[in-house]
Each structure stands twice: as structure tokens, then as C-alpha cells.
Amino acid sequence: MPSAAKQLQSLSHAWNEPEISLSAIQRWLTQFPAEDQAIAIRLLECMELHSWARMLRECRLLHQRLCMDLRDDGFDVEKFSDIDFTRAFVCKSGDMASYVYRKANRLSVNHFKTIEALHQSRIDRSKRAIVILDDYIGTGSQFIFQFLGRSESNTALISAYKRTRLCSLVVHDNARTKWRLLQRHCIEDVMAIEERQLECVDFSLERKALIQTLSRVDWRKAGLIAAQRDFPVMAHPALTAKERITMRQFLNQCTCEEEAGTTEFLLGHHSFFYGAPNALARVLLPLFKRVEDFTIYPKESLRGLPAEIIDYDIENPEPITPL
């Protein structure tokens, strides 16, 4: 069994990221009692950090899977003359994913259009495909409820295409479950899951409208494609049965000490060199910097959130954004 020092050194070298230095890992670890440090290290060892080089490889894999899928439906996957690439939200991590995807696959910038530009275009979309790129999809809420459910214009835009593909480097099993329900047109079941998972959001005023808008989408024409799968870290195959129990207790203890965030219940184990998705356990925030964005929901519907935006930095123990 390697010593804790060697395990930390191995993590630092494996991640190879100056933003997550050995000293930063050590400072993170020292916040826990000695008896919890072994399982805290195992938690870190289960983490998947997507470096720039790894993202390039995964974008190529994602592109291969997309092309195989659309080729079967008769689309031009050589010149992409009938395919529009875009991302759902501006100034979010999907922008980074789109940039890396384009670079990795040597695609012309002419193939990429903003949602705004697509809205303004008068081209016939009935024989075209739209590809929406992202880096991480946890619950799928941003795409399902914000991009589509709260925007009849986006719903109409997507519905005008022959095929829609939501492509992400990593997709959590939680989103996959919702997607399968959507393809069976179980819209109310997806709505019920959303309300159970996001108790801090009051859906009562918009529930009916969301269901009606989402019901207009032909989900059989929409596909979800990923390069990697995410799932709760306690289910990591590298953990023993005993370690899974201990890790669950450790994470539960950490959650009790801090107010739970919106989607950290996913307990994902993937992060990126530029930041972490909202699916990570809160205990990892000081190490894997991120901005947690609650702005996808109307402010008047937020109840009991610790903050609208939380920005953690291991070098600065105080949140950059005032709570």
C-alpha cells in the first residue's frame, strides 16, 4: 500500500495541471481529521481530470460517434453541408467545448453558428441536422428546461430540423435517464424528477407551460451523444465495497457541515482543466475551482439557496463573489 505522500505526488503528476499543484492538494487534505484523510485521498484518486490534451482526444472520439450516427441518417459528414454546429448558451463552458471540438476535428468556423444567427436565418431546415455542443451534462436541466422549456422560439427552431443531436464530452447517468423518458414522451415524469431533485426551485407557476412546451418537441428525432459517462463517485469500480460505504459516510458528513448545492447530489467525478461542473461534491470545490450558476432559474423561484453564484479558490479561502 503506497504512503499518503506518494499517493498525493502521483495525483499531482497525473493531473499535470499547475492550477492543482501538490501544495494545493496537501492544503485541501489537511482540513480533514487524520482518520478521514485516507478516504479523502481515495476520493481524489477517483476523479477524472480532463486536460487540454485529453479534451482534444475526446472531441475526436465524440466527432467520430456523431458522424457514424448522422451518416446512417443520410447526412453529409464529409463537408457538413447540411449540418449546423452550435452551443446552447453564450459565455459558458459550452463555448470552450465548441472551440476545442472545432480545433480537434479541424472544422471550418463556417460550420459553427450562434443560436441567434440560426434564428435569423431563413434557410429550410427540414432536411438539415443541428448539433449542440457542451462539455458536461449533469441533470440536463439547462438544455431541457431553460433552453427549450422556457423558450418557445428555441423549441420551434429545434423542431424545424430533421435531426437534433446534443453532444457532450461527458454525460451523467441522471441526464441519460431523463433523455430516455423524453424519447418515450414521458414529459410529466421528467418534470416530476426535476421537482424532486431541485427542491430549491418553485415550479408551481410554470409547470403547466413547461410541460406544454416540451411536449411540442419530437424527442424521437433528438439524440444524446457522449464521449465519456459520469456517475456517482461511490460507484467507481476502483473502490472496494468497504471503501464505498466509507466514502458515502464521508461525503454525507461533509454535506451536513455545509448547505447542499443545487446539483451536487449527482456526486460526479469528472472535472476540467478550466473548472468543474456543478455535479461535484461541495467538499471538492476548494480544489477544483468552479463557478456554480443558478441563473438558469428565474430569481423569484429560488428558495433557500446559499448564493446565486459561488466562486471558490484554493489560494483564497474567501469566496470571490460575496455571499
User: Which residue segments constitute the domains of the chain, with CATH numbers given?
Assistant: 52-229 (3.40.50)
Neighbours of 298 (CB within 10 A): 12
For residue 264, count CB atoms less than 10 angstroms from its CB and return exposed for 0-12, middle for 13-18, buried for 19 or more.
buried
Tens-digit pLDDT profile for residues 244-284: 999 999 998 887 544 454 688 899 999 988 888 888 888 88
Query: Across the chain, which distance is largest between two alpha carbons, in Å?
Result: 64
User: Do 58 and 273 form a contact (C-beta atoms < 8 A)?
Assistant: no
User: Do 130 and 160 form a contact (C-beta atoms < 8 A)?
Assistant: no
pTM: 0.82
User: Do 8 and 22 form a contact (C-beta atoms < 8 A)?
Assistant: yes
Which among 157, 161, 151 is positioned nearest to 120, based on CA atoms?
Answer: 157
Q: How far apart are CA 100 and CA 213, in angstroms?
A: 32
Q: For residue 150, what pLDDT band results from cuts at 50, 70 and 90?
A: very high
Say what the pLDDT of residue 202 is. Answer: 87
User: Do 126 and 160 form a contact (C-beta atoms < 8 A)?
Assistant: yes
Tens-digit pLDDT profile for residues 102-136: 999 999 989 999 999 999 999 999 999 999 999 99
Question: In the numeric block, which cell numbers belong to residue 322?
Answer: 460575496
Tens-digit pLDDT profile for residues 33-71: 999 999 999 999 999 989 888 899 999 999 999 999 999
Say what the pLDDT of residue 300 is. Answer: 47
In 87-143, DSSP assigns E strands to 129-137
For residue 310, count CB atoms less than 10 angstroms from its CB and return exposed for 0-12, middle for 13-18, buried for 19 or more.
buried
Alpha-helical regions (H) of the chain = 4-15, 22-29, 34-45, 52-72, 93-104, 115-120, 141, 152-159, 173-183, 187-197, 207-215, 241-257
